[in-house]
């Protein structure tokens, strides 16, 4: 095996204390998704949306990467072939666990994007109408660098290329309801790529996987990484 493609979702950060999206109440931290995660919601009430992400950013800063994030960093470091890590998460826990190449297809909480010049800048604390874009100098044009509903995810070409070249596709902690990521397992299966789902629950996309490792990410991911690394060590 030469190439592993990993897709992570909110479930991998759940044991670090970051709430997943689709809890039983259908709300994200008490808010309707369309209010806080859509261009229309931002247009209607930018102050509320800025403040929502300021709170998320603070929670992410306080969270600590868990054993599953660390195991994936170890895999990237020690696997002799290629490891592509694509995440739907906007947190930076993969990076803080030591992963060096993380593809954030839904954007990043710690970054802002200028609506005027499109430049992406770091924003690790508070973002609101008073921030100045460090690239073009305009005040009030920065928005969270997050892909909202109705917007196109990032890096889709690179992702498609890496996925279709892979020998193994592993989805960790994702419910498989948001496309295009929800379609990756089926695409992999169509290309004859072996597929593994790591999730305590079965999901909409479970039927597309060859193997299911049922349990929390902090337990199943390190054990799976150990198995891969011991099979490839000489």
Contact call for residue 53 and ligand APR (CB under 6 A): no
Q: Find out whether 89 and 104 touch, Cβ atoms under 8 Å.
A: yes
Stretch that binds ligand APR, among 42-50, 114-122, 172-180, 183-191 (CB under 6 A): 172-180
Backbone angles phi, psi at 39, to 5 degrees: -60, -35
Torsion of CA 69, 71, 74, 78, to 10 degrees: -140
Strand partners, 197: 171, 212
- Residue ranges of alpha helices (H) inside the chain are 11-14, 33-36, 39-44, 46-62, 67-78, 93-97, 156-165, 184-190, 217-232
The CB-of-216 to ligand APR minimum distance in angstroms stands at 4
Of 195-224, which residues contact ligand APR (CB under 6 A)? Answer: 199-201, 203, 216-217
What is the helix, strand, coil percentage profile of the chain, to 5? 35, 20, 40
The CB-of-130 to ligand APR minimum distance in angstroms stands at 27
| Position among 41, 144, 173, 222 found at the interface with ligand APR (CB under 6 A) | 173
189-205 per-residue burial string, b: 16 or more CB within 10 A, e: under 16: beeebbbbbbbeeebeb
Using CB under 6 A as the binding criterion, the count of chain residues that bind ligand APR stands at 22
**Catalytically annotated residue among 69, 94, 104, 106:** 106
| Position among 175, 185, 193, 196 found at the interface with ligand APR (CB under 6 A) | 175
Q: Find out whether 131 and 144 touch, Cβ atoms under 8 Å.
A: no
Contact call for residue 14 and ligand APR (CB under 6 A): yes
Stretch that binds ligand APR, among 72-80, 114-122, 167-175, 187-195 (CB under 6 A): 167-175
| 106 in active site | yes
Stretch that binds ligand APR, among 11-19, 129-137, 160-168, 188-196 (CB under 6 A): 11-19
Of 84-113, which residues contact ligand APR (CB under 6 A)? Answer: 88, 106
Contact call for residue 15 and ligand APR (CB under 6 A): yes
| Position among 70, 99, 174, 195 found at the interface with ligand APR (CB under 6 A) | 174
Contact call for residue 31 and ligand APR (CB under 6 A): no
d(CA 150, CA 69): 29
d(CA 233, CA 228): 9
134: helix, coil or strand? coil
Write out the catalytic residue numbers. 106
Note the residues at the interface with ligand APR (CB under 6 A).
9-11, 14-15, 20-22, 33, 88, 106, 173-175, 177-178, 199-201, 203, 216-217
């Amino acid at each position: 095996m030469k190439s592993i493609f990993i897709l992570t979702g909110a479930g991998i950060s759940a044991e670090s204390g970051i709430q997943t999206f689709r809890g039983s109440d259908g709300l994200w931290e008490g808010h309707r998704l369309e209010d806080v995660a859509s261009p229309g919601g931002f247009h209607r009430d930018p102050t509320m949306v800025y403040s929502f992400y300021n709170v998320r950013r603070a929670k992410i800063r306080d969270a600590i990467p868990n054993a599953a994030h660390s195991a994936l960093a170890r895999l990237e470091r020690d696997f002799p072939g290629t490891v592509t890590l694509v995440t739907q998460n906007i947190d930076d826990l993969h990076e803080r666990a030591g992963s060096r190449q993380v593809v954030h297809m839904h954007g990043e909480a710690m970054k802002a994007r200028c609506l005027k010049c499109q430049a992406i800048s770091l924003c690790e604390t508070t973002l609101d109408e008073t921030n100045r874009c460090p690239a073009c100098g305009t005040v009030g044009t920065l928005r969270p660098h997050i892909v909202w509903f109705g917007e196109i995810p990032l890096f889709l070409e690179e992702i498609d290329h890496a996925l279709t070249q892979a020998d193994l596709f592993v989805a960790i902690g994702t419910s498989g309801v948001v496309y295009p990521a929800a379609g990756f397992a089926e695409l992999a299966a169509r290309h004859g790529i072996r597929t593994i789902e790591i999730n305590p629950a079965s999901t909409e996309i479970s039927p597309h996987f060859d193997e299911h490792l049922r349990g929390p990410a902090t337990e199943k991911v390190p054990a799976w990484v150990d198995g891969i690394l011991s099979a490839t060590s000489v």
